[in-house]
């Protein structure tokens, strides 16, 4: 499936970029001195496309934040170097220990699906460990705009981070929220804690929530997804 990246403007200087492959959504927040990139993509080729698209919007230096330790959200980081890269400490550790198993699984999947170019790009992607910790909450001043990096609790993984842009009413939620498909509950998920984690996201009172996969949604959508998770798994 071709990369058909397209921007969705969510507010002044706040963007989501949509890709058909994996129905993925990445993010960009622009201020006066820096910009913040929300997830870096699934490999260096994808990351380079995203970086070039950002450069069509802004020439400001960037930070990168990784919402969680699944390959499609962080294996593009090398395309953005040098830069600070933020993540939860458990996310960094999972990137260090789990990437090669994820890479092997998904490269095999792409080859079986007749997408050898995607497998090759995935095989070639360098692993870049995050440099800056988000153990709980960090406020990042981008110049004229402060954004909050928040670990709201365990859910999709042990080290999920969301990005709150308070002046725009936007939260980038990573894969704590998915639109177009049910949330992915893998072996590294905490489904009984996930509803409480989404309560912390909803407590931010967002107007728009950007999922890691799918189109942006509102708080009512997140509430319904929380309730579905609670009904299925408890919590």
Domain range annotation of the chain: 6-233
Q: Which fold has domain 6-233?
A: Metallo-beta-lactamase; Chain A (3.60.15)
Average pLDDT over residues 197-215: 98
- What is the predicted pLDDT for the residue at 8? 98
Q: Where residue 13 falls among pLDDT bands split at 50, 70, 90?
A: very high
- Confidence bin at 3 (pLDDT 50/70/90): low
Record the pTM.
0.97
- The average pLDDT across 201-218 equals 98
**pLDDT score of 166:** 98
Percentage of the chain beyond pLDDT 90 is: 97
Among all chains, which residue has been given the structure tokens 């993010």? 27
Displacement of CA 154 from its chain's centroid (Å)? 15
From the DSSP assignment, how many helices (H) and strands (E) are in the chain? 5, 12
Inform me whether the pLDDT recorded for 207 exceeds 90. yes
pLDDT band at 235 (very low <50, low <70, confident <90, very high): confident
Backbone dihedral region for residue 119 (phi beyond 0: left; psi -120 to 50: alpha; all else: beta): alpha
C-alpha radius of gyration, the chain, whole number: 16
């Amino acid at each position: 499936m071709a990369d058909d990246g397209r921007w969705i403007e969510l507010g002044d200087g706040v963007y989501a970029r949509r890709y058909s492959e994996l129905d993925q959504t990445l993010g960009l927040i622009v201020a006066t001195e820096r910009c913040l990139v929300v997830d870096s993509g699934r490999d260096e080729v994808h990351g380079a496309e995203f970086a070039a698209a950002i450069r069509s919007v802004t020439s400001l230096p960037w930070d990168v934040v990784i919402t969680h330790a699944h390959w499609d959200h962080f294996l593009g980081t090398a395309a953005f170097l040098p830069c600070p890269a933020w993540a939860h400490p458990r996310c960094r550790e999972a990137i260090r220990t789990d990437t090669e198993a994820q890479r092997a699984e998904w490269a095999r999947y792409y080859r079986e699906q007749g997408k050898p170019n995607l497998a090759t790009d995935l095989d070639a992607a360098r692993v870049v460990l995050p440099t800056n910790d988000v153990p709980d909450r960090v406020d990042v001043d981008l110049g004229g705009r402060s954004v909050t990096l928040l670990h709201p609790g365990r859910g999709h993984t042990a080290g999920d981070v969301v990005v709150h842009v308070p002046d725009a009413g936007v939260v980038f939620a990573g894969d704590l929220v998915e639109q177009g498909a049910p949330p992915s509950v893998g072996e590294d998920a905490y489904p009984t804690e996930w509803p409480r984690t989404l309560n912390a996201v909803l407590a931010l009172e967002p107007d728009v929530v950007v999922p890691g996969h799918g189109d942006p949604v509102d708080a009512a959508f997140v509430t319904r997804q929380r309730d579905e998770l609670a009904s299925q798994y408890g919590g």
